[in-house]
Amino acid sequence: MKFRLFLLAAVALVLAGCSSETIEYGNDQLPDLPKGKVLQVTASFDEPVGTRGSLEEYGTTIVKTIGFRWDTTDIIQYSFEQDGTKYSNIANVDSVGVEGKTAFFTVEIPVGIDTESPYTLYGFRSGRWPFKTVGSVLDAGDPTIAILPTDQYDYKSTLADQAIVFSLWGKKVIEPDMENISIPFQHFGSMMTLHLKNVGTTPVTDLHSVALQTNPSTNWILNRQSGEGLATFNMATGNYVTLSESTTLTFFPTDSIIEPDEVQTYYAWFIPKTDYLVGNLRIATIKSPGATMSDATGISEGKVINRTMQTGKNYILFSSISVDTTAVPPLPYLVHFTDSTFAIP
């Protein structure tokens, strides 16, 4: 199954200054639906209430909701379940409502479903690059299980790339004779946005990645371990079957150079561990072409976050970086958490 990148507008983070980008995939099309039993489905989306909050110790950090918008290029994977019997298929979005908050698609009711008795319809929206062969699909053996994205290390920290792995799910019990239904979709994850400014007078020239990690190391992310992903989620029970936990959220910039006074912004879609109090976070910059903490070029002081994270949020962090002319390698950079002015505390 090929997947197409969902338009950047589909993510539509509540963040000023975001530009629109579009990457087109192949022309996947479903065959015409045969005449027979079909459901007209409205995929709704309830945005969580937006909040602002401060994350303790070094200035304020903005916490906003993710303003998701459907797009007509979206593909919905869905499954039917009745008395232990399960069927699955995919459907293209037929049309999108005003402001993109609802999507409409049509699904054929499988012959094995008794429409005179209740049954359950599940929906899953996720994506991957065409050259990926696993992840972002419903499990073939049990299509009520969603397999989350894999190989997140291949995706850059741009909104366009992070939109690919952006994942949602929904569930609806269908009563007899219902033909027009609405499924409320929910977020699997959240977005982390990092604004990093070079506050020095010398360019940063060897940036491979930026890592946000707990200190001491504690898992706070589900579906990120070693970039493998592939956590599995049971949509019938609302619980994870398997996890891929991690201590580190990594941003992969498109540019390894940050000029003086330049601000680079990185995005990472992730699934937060919502029952865990995050605690102390720190930022580490990694030199190119390194990929581990042994290649760190700068490590910030800690930032205490006395809160549990939620899905459907955009957590926005601010940080400064500068060349430390007095340092002896391997840590030539000074990295600090700041507020939106990028003033070093």
Maximum mean pLDDT: which of 18-32, 54-68, 95-109, 191-205: 191-205
End-to-end alpha-carbon separation of the chain, Å? 50
Q: How far apart are alpha carbons 213 and 302 in whole angstroms?
A: 10
User: Which tens digit of pLDDT belongs to each residue from 131-188?
Assistant: 889 999 999 999 999 999 997 788 999 988 998 899 999 999 999 988 899 999 999 9
Predicted local distance difference test score (pLDDT) of residue 47 = 56
Tell me whether strands 313-323 and 190-198 are parallel, antiparallel or unpaired.
parallel
User: Which tens digit of pLDDT belongs to each residue from 209-223?
Assistant: 999 999 888 999 999
126, 140, 210, 277, 319 from 227: Cα distances, Å: 17, 23, 14, 23, 24
* pLDDT score of 4 more than 60: no
Residues 6+ apart with CB under 8 A from 17: none
* pLDDT score of 52 more than 90: no
Q: How far apart are alpha carbons 37 and 181 in whole angstroms?
A: 14
User: Which tens digit of pLDDT belongs to each residue from 22-35?
Assistant: 222 233 333 343 43
Residue 220 tokens read as 């706070």
Secondary-structure breakdown of the chain: helix, strand, coil percentages, each rounded to the nearest 5 = 5, 45, 50
Predicted local distance difference test score (pLDDT) of residue 56 = 28
**Main-chain phi, psi angles of 9, to 5 degrees:** -60, -20
* pLDDT score of 11 more than 50: no
Q: How many residues does the chain have?
A: 345
Helix (H) or strand (E) holding 124: strand 119-125
* pLDDT score of 54 more than 90: no
Region 224-233: mean pLDDT is: 88
Q: Between 330 and 116, whose confidence is greater?
A: 116
Q: How far apart are alpha carbons 328 and 250 in whole angstroms?
A: 25
User: Which tens digit of pLDDT belongs to each residue from 59-98?
Assistant: 345 677 777 788 888 899 999 999 999 999 999 999 998 8
* pLDDT score of 1 more than 70: no
Q: Nearest 5 degrees, angle CA 335-CA 339-CA 344?
A: 45
Q: Are 107 and 91 in contact (CB under 8 A)?
A: yes
Q: What pTM, to 2 d.p., does this model score?
A: 0.84
* pLDDT score of 36 more than 60: no
> Tokens 């019990």, residue?
173
DSSP category for residue 163: H
Percent of the chain with pLDDT over 70: 82
Q: How far apart are alpha carbons 275 and 262 in whole angstroms?
A: 37
Mean pLDDT of the chain, nearest integer: 82
Percent of the chain with pLDDT over 90: 57
Sign of CA dihedral 64, 5, 234, 219: negative
Predicted local distance difference test score (pLDDT) of residue 107 = 94
Q: If pLDDT is split at 50, 70 and 90, which confidence band does 291 have?
A: low
